[in-house]
Structure 1
Amino acid sequence: MAQAGLTRAEIENLDSMWKAPGFIPTFVAVFAAFGAWSLLLPVIPLAALDHGHSATLAGATTGVFMAATVATQIFTPMMLRSIGYNPVMVAAAFMLGVPALGHLLGTDAWILLLFSALRGVGFGALTVAESALIAEIVPARFLGKASGMLGVFLGVAQMIGLPTGLWLAGEFGYPTVYVTAAVVALVAAVMCLRIPRIRAQRRPKDAPGGDVSMWKLVAVPAVAVNTLAMSFGAVSSFLPAAVQDLDPVTGAVIGGFMLSIIGGAAMVLRYFSGVVADRAGHAGVTMLPGQAMGFAGVALMALVIANGWSVWWLVLAGVLFGGGFGMVQNEALLEMFQRLPRTKVSEASAVWNMSYDAGTGIGSVVLGFVAARAAYSGAYAVAAGLVALGILATLADRYLGAHRVTDHDNIRTRLRQIPVPRRPRRR
């Protein structure tokens, strides 16, 4: 049974985010859904390689998944308005899990690509819905902490799911992983049934004034998370290998843990960023520090690899990058929620998720192209340049924000409101 929803006034009177109806079921569902996704993320490409397919096809399974994810995210806000959170999230969890069983049919190219795309559809709708739903059901003064806690659940799910999928495949075979992922996703679908039956808000037809273009409001935080996500695409693809190349002995041990180190740092500092935002009463306090940490981390990676420094410097670089990325993730989402009206929280979630997912996919491809021609150090140097562009955009936005003329109640608007007699037309 779905829980009863509260009015906005009742939600704001809650003294804890944990008391919001549907809050705990949402987080359990998100944990299960991302667990199912994490189980299969490294396994499907590995299965393709083990059955004689090329590295191109193995990579295409992830590429098709992400393409379907981003395409679905575009239409999810409309579905949340017309259908509602509960049915969209239940259907998305089913789409994320049930197609996993399709991989039991074999490893032909069309099977690998088709069912990867179907799972991507479920993942795309679910990621947009869960971020937007948190903004709908949690008091505004706890939104930073709630978003940070969402990052904790996602991080733990990935830290458990990624190695578990590989372990299950090695010990019991690929079919076991497919069935396990489907079952875990169905747990998410069951928990989604407990989510309040509410719909994304619509803008009232009689709302005063003309709207500012949504893209003008969210472009800068989108660039901030996108540039770091592009860097993460290179980090997640090449850092474990770079660690082992730098030090075959120590790196063989550390390399397997590098992504967990980055993910753990991101998880902790994303939550910290949310706590800071709630205490400050607004988003953005840790945005520039997070971007600076991300830049320092990826720049240090480039320097360490180029100069052959100790592999332990890469561990420090991973902590810096992961922590900075975690803070920027939270700040970008909160800034989008803060800049857009409540009627567009689903659009804010969609833009944030598309910036993140598209950035990760594009970064892994483009910076992989750079790595093939300028080594890992060259790829990370370019990644550092991308993050620097994001920092410049944030600095420019801060400056313009302090001097920006608002779209309402400014001089130009007031002059337009003054009645001016019109001259009669000449015949």
Structure 2
Amino acid sequence: MTTSAPSPKMQRTLTPALLAVMCIALFGFGTFFLNYSTLVSIGTNMGLTAVAAGTILTIMMVAVVAVQPLAPVLNNHFGPRMTFFAALSLQAAGNLLSLLTHFPLFALVSGSVVCGLGFGILVVIGTAAVPSTVAPERLGKALGYFGVTTSGATAIGAPAGLWLINIMPAIGFRWLAFGFILLALPALLAIPQQHQTSNTASPDVGQPVDGRMRWGGLITVLLPVSIVLTTFGLLLAFGPAAHSVSPALYIVSMQIFAIIGRFLASSSLDRRSPVSVMSAGIVVTLIGLVFTALLPAGTALIIAMMVLGFGIGAVQASSLLLCFEQAGSTNRGSVAWNMTFDIGLGVAGLVGGFGFTYWGPSITYIVCAIALTMVGLFFVLYFLSPKSPQAEQAPAKR
């Protein structure tokens, strides 16, 4: 009896290769944000000032951004499996460097930089590898699963790090992070050795017909994104403004609602303009941010951070599609958006170190709210202007 080849409809989305990529992303992203959320605390416990510790955090994020253009070169030359291995190896090595207790400052700086290099490669190769793991008609769902994995890893990693660093010594914490990276290594066996490209072209969602780069529109989109993600990084690294509060529960609440907000905003983009969705997201973010800056610890603060997280998620989803449209291609838009994401997290270290030291937490978050209000108004005025390219375009069919 002959067996016919399975039809595309019978093919699975959660293929072994996609599950492997998701596993690597889970441990890679999760471990990075374990370190990200605790770097300032570890630095201050070593005797560094908040400004110095925040500067090291920024240096780590500079490494994340700087290495990203190299990731496609590594992928093309060595293939996805070896590139994933290089990313995980760098993250593991960074945690081992942090164990050099005789040279604590060198260990903290070098370990953070090496971890950042590994994470920067992982961010790029993770997304690039997804299309080769599923049939073309399953790519949308596959990217959705991958996005949920990375968002979930971030949501778990940051508060888990803040909790763990309070109940175990820094050396034990580093060994634990190193162990998490090792757990991802077996998944490499299911990763294709060579990059596979699909023969089926799919249209770029949200890409303008003319394919032109609109610098004004792109920068106008990225300005609010940078402020939102700087605020996001501040909360992950420094916690809420309320005194005498354990930040883990509050950050978990924010992260969960950021995932919900991103999912619901993405779903609404089939029916609504990304400009309107992003405008609403900015407003919700501002409301949550102001109350997060002013409220004391308690249930009200948790609710405020839920609102803040929902707004951040909505801005993330809508701004990504707007970047595709304004950049003229999904490739350029994706690069611009991801670079802004990482730069925002990096700048958070400097803003938090300076602001928390000289202004205090509440004023620092209020300053972020003022900055977001200004760039948010500019965003609305730009895209709602009758002469703007966005206003002249008819709504795209999706």
**TM-score normalised by structure 2 residue count:** 0.77
Worse-matched range after superposition: 288-297 or 188-197: 188-197
2:389 to 401, 415, 420: 401
Alignment of 1:221-232 (within 5 A): 221-232=221-232
SS at match of 2:190: coil
Pair 1:198 & 2:195 matched:
yes
* Partners of 1:96 and 1:261 in 2: CA distance: 27
CA contact (8 A) 2:281 2:314 kept: yes
* Partners of 1:172 and 1:374 in 2: CA distance: 31
1:294 to 262, 268, 285: 285
- Matched with 1:417 is none
1:380 to 351, 359, 365: 365
Residue 224 of structure 2 aligns with an amino acid whose one-letter code is A
- Matched with 1:422 is none
- Matched with 1:66 is 61
Change (3 A) 1:102 1:366: closer
How far does residue 266 in structure 1 lie from its aligned partner after superposition? 0.5
Pair 1:243 & 2:242 matched:
yes
Change (3 A) 1:60 1:376: closer
Residue 22 of structure 1 aligns with an amino acid whose one-letter code is A
* Partners of 1:111 and 1:353 in 2: CA distance: 28
- Matched with 1:352 is 337
* Partners of 1:46 and 1:190 in 2: CA distance: 32
Change (3 A) 1:273 1:301: same
Structure with max Cα Rg: 1
* Partners of 2:377 and 2:58 in 1: CA distance: 30
Residue 290 of structure 2 aligns with an amino acid whose one-letter code is A
* Partners of 1:289 and 1:17 in 2: CA distance: 36
CA contact (8 A) 1:73 1:128 kept: yes
Residue 177 of structure 2 aligns with an amino acid whose one-letter code is A
Change (3 A) 1:325 1:237: same
* Partners of 2:35 and 2:45 in 1: CA distance: 15
- Matched with 1:271 is 263
- Matched with 2:32 is 37
Change (3 A) 1:20 1:213: farther
Q: Deviations over 1:345-375 (max 9, x none)?
A: 3x44332222112112224423653455544
SS at match of 1:105: coil
* Partners of 1:341 and 1:281 in 2: CA distance: 20
Q: Deviations over 1:178-206 (max 9, x none)?
A: 232223223334424533432689xxxxx
Q: Deviations over 1:3-56 (max 9, x none)?
A: xxxxxxx99x66888246732222111111112213333444444444444444
Alignment of 1:109-258 (within 5 A): 109-134=105-130, 149-165=145-161, 173-196=169-192, 197-198=194-195, 212-213=212-213, 215=215, 218-240=218-240, 242-244=241-243, 252=245, 255-258=247-250
Worse-matched range after superposition: 128-137 or 87-96: 128-137
- Matched with 1:3 is none
Residue 19 of structure 2 aligns with an amino acid whose one-letter code is I
* Partners of 2:340 and 2:319 in 1: CA distance: 10
Change (3 A) 1:394 1:134: farther
Residue 92 of structure 2 aligns with an amino acid whose one-letter code is G
Gaps of 5+ in 2: 1-5, 199-208
Worse-matched range after superposition: 56-65 or 224-233: 56-65
* Partners of 1:58 and 1:110 in 2: CA distance: 13
CA contact (8 A) 1:90 1:190 kept: no
How far does residue 81 in structure 1 lie from its aligned partner after superposition? 4.9
CA contact (8 A) 2:160 2:248 kept: no
SS at match of 2:191: coil
Change (3 A) 1:405 1:330: closer
- Matched with 1:204 is none
SS at match of 1:243: coil
* Partners of 1:405 and 1:171 in 2: CA distance: 55
2:90 to 95, 102, 105: 95
Give % identity. 24
Change (3 A) 1:263 1:179: same
Change (3 A) 1:390 1:243: same
SS at match of 2:235: helix
SS at match of 2:242: helix
Change (3 A) 1:376 1:61: closer
How far does residue 131 in structure 1 lie from its aligned partner after superposition? 3.4
Q: Deviations over 1:199-247 (max 9, x none)?
A: 689xxxxxxx99634756643443332121122234345543x222xxx
- Matched with 1:333 is 320
Change (3 A) 1:199 1:388: farther
* Partners of 2:225 and 2:42 in 1: CA distance: 31
* Partners of 2:369 and 2:24 in 1: CA distance: 35
* Partners of 1:192 and 1:215 in 2: CA distance: 39
Residue 242 of structure 2 aligns with an amino acid whose one-letter code is V
Gaps of 5+ in 1: 1-9, 202-208, 407-427
CA contact (8 A) 1:39 1:177 kept: no
SS at match of 1:287: helix
Worse-matched range after superposition: 217-226 or 97-106: 217-226
* Partners of 2:163 and 2:300 in 1: CA distance: 29
Q: Deviations over 1:274-299 (max 9, x none)?
A: 3333x449866632222221122113
Worse-matched range after superposition: 113-122 or 359-368: 359-368
